[in-house]
C-alpha cells in the first residue's frame, strides 16, 4: 500500500518533467477533451435532469405540514444539487465512465508494448499519456456547472409537471438564502475530484502487468479506488470548508 502511494506520487512528478513537443501535445489534449469531456456531456445531462426531478418530487411529497412554505421544494433541490449531487455524485459516475476509459486505454497500451515503444523513441511516456488527460479534466467544472443547471431545471420541470407547487414558488425557493460560498465550495471540490479522476485511473493503467484480462481487472480496481478517494476527500473538504 505504502509502495503504491510512493509510486503514485513519483508518477505525479513525472507528469511535469521532460514534456513532449508542443505540437504533438496540443493534439493529444484536444483528443482527450473530446473523449473525456465532450463524450461525458450527454450522460451527465441526462442523469442530472432526472435526479434533480426526483429530488424535488421527494421533497414535495415529504412536506405535509401546511405551515412549511411551498418554496422549500426549490430551496431543497438547489441545495442538494449544488452541494453534493452535481460535484460529488457526478464525479463518482465519471469515475466509472471516464476512469475506466482512462485505465483501459493506458493499460492496453502497456500490455501491447505501446508504452515501451514511446520510451524507446525517447518520450517521457507518463507526460505523454497523463498530462493531456489532466489538462482535459480541468474542464470538469464546466461539466459540473451543466449538471447543476440541468439538475435544478429537472427539479423545476418535475415540480410543475407533478403540480407540487407553482413555478413562482419554486423559483423563489431557488433564490432563497443563496450563499455564493456554497458554489465556491462546490467548485473547489470539483477541481480536486478532476485531479483524482485524471491521475488514479492513469496510475492503475500505467503500472499494470499482464494481458487483456488484467486490463479489465485494473479498470475495476481503478474505479473502486477513485470513488473511495473522492468520497474521503469530499468528507475532509466539507469538514474544513463548511463546518
Q: How far apart are CA 38 and CA 80, in angstroms?
A: 25
- Residue range at the interface with other proteins (CB under 8 A); choices 17-25, 133-141, 144-152, 224-232: 17-25
Considering only residues 98 through 117, tell me which ones interact with other proteins, judged by CB under 8 A: 108, 112-114, 116-117
Any idea which residue has 450563499 for its cell? Answer: 179
Q: Provide, rounded to whole angstroms, the least separation between the CB of residue 115 and other proteins.
A: 9
* Residue 61 is a binding residue for other proteins (CB under 8 A): no
Q: Nearest 5 degrees, angle CA 4-CA 9-CA 14?
A: 120
Task: Single out the residue of 2, 17, 121, 213 in contact with other proteins (rule: CB under 8 A).
Answer: 121
Applying CB under 8 A, the span of 16-24, 85-93, 155-163, 181-189 interacting with other proteins comes to 16-24
Per CB under 8 A, 13 contacts other proteins:
no
Nearer to other proteins, 121 or 213 (CB): 121
Task: Please report whether residue 21 would count as binding other proteins according to CB under 8 A.
Answer: yes
- Name 150's Cβ contacts closer than 8 Å, sequence gap at least 6: 45, 48, 49, 52
End-to-end CA distance of the chain: 31
23 binds other proteins (CB under 8 A): yes
When the beta carbons of 66 and 122 are compared against other proteins, the nearer one is 122
CA dist 38 and 27 (Å) reads 15
Does the protein bind other proteins through residue 26 (CB under 8 A)? no
Decide: 23 and 125 in contact? Cβ < 8 Å: no
What gap in Å lies between CA 219 and CA 108, rounded to an integer?
Answer: 11
166 binds other proteins (CB under 8 A): no
* Residue 123 lies near other proteins (rule: CB under 8 A): yes
Residue 109 or residue 134: which is nearer to other proteins going by CB? 109
Question: Cβ closer to other proteins: 20 or 219?
Answer: 20
Task: Encode burial over 141-156: b for 16+ CB neighbours within 10 A, e otherwise.
Answer: bebbebbbbbbbbbbb
Residue 50 · residue 151 · CB < 8 Å: no
Q: Measured between alpha carbons, how far is 109 from 215 in angstroms, rounded to an integer?
A: 10
Question: Rounded to the nearest whole angstrom, what is the least distance from the CB of residue 70 to other proteins in the complex?
Answer: 53
User: Least distance from C-beta 96 to other proteins, angstroms?
Assistant: 22
Residue 132: CB partners within 8 Å, gap ≥ 6?
A: 25, 28, 29, 31, 32
Cβ proximity to other proteins, 128 vs 223, nearer residue: 128
State the residues that interact with other proteins by CB under 8 A: 20-21, 23-24, 31, 108, 112-114, 116-117, 119-123
Amino acid at each position: 500500500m505504502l509502495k503504491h502511494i510512493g509510486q503514485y506520487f513519483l508518477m505525479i512528478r513525472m507528469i511535469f518533467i521532460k514534456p513532449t513537443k508542443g505540437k504533438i501535445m496540443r493534439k493529444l489534449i484536444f483528443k482527450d477533451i473530446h473523449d473525456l469531456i465532450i463524450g461525458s456531456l450527454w450522460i451527465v445531462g441526462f442523469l442530472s435532469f432526472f435526479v434533480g426531478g426526483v429530488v424535488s418530487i421527494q421533497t414535495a411529497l415529504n412536506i405535509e405540514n401546511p405551515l412549511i412554505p411551498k418554496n422549500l421544494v426549490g430551496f431543497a433541490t438547489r441545495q442538494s444539487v449544488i452541494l453534493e449531487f452535481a460535484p460529488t455524485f457526478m464525479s463518482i459516475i465519471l469515475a466509472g465512465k471516464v476512469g475506466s476509459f482512462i485505465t483501459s486505454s493506458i493499460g492496453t497500451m502497456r500490455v501491447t508494448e505501446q508504452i515501451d515503444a514511446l520510451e524507446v523513441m525517447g518520450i517521457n511516456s507518463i507526460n505523454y499519456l497523463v498530462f493531456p488527460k489532466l489538462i482535459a479534466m480541468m474542464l470538469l467544472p464546466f461539466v459540473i456547472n451543466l449538471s447543476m443547471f440541468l439538475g435544478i431545471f429537472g427539479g423545476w420541470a418535475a415540480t410543475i409537471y407533478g403540480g407540487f407547487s407553482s413555478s413562482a414558488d419554486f423559483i423563489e425557493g431557488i433564490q432563497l438564502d443563496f450563499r455564493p460560498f456554497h458554489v465556491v465550495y462546490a467548485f473547489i471540490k470539483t477541481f480536486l475530484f478532476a485531479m483524482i479522476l485524471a491521475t488514479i485511473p492513469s496510475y492503475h493503467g500505467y503500472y499494470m502487468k499482464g494481458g487483456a484480462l488484467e486490463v479489465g481487472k485494473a479498470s475495476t480496481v481503478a474505479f473502486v479506488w477513485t470513488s473511495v478517494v473522492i468520497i474521503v476527500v469530499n468528507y475532509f473538504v466539507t469538514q474544513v470548508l463548511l463546518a
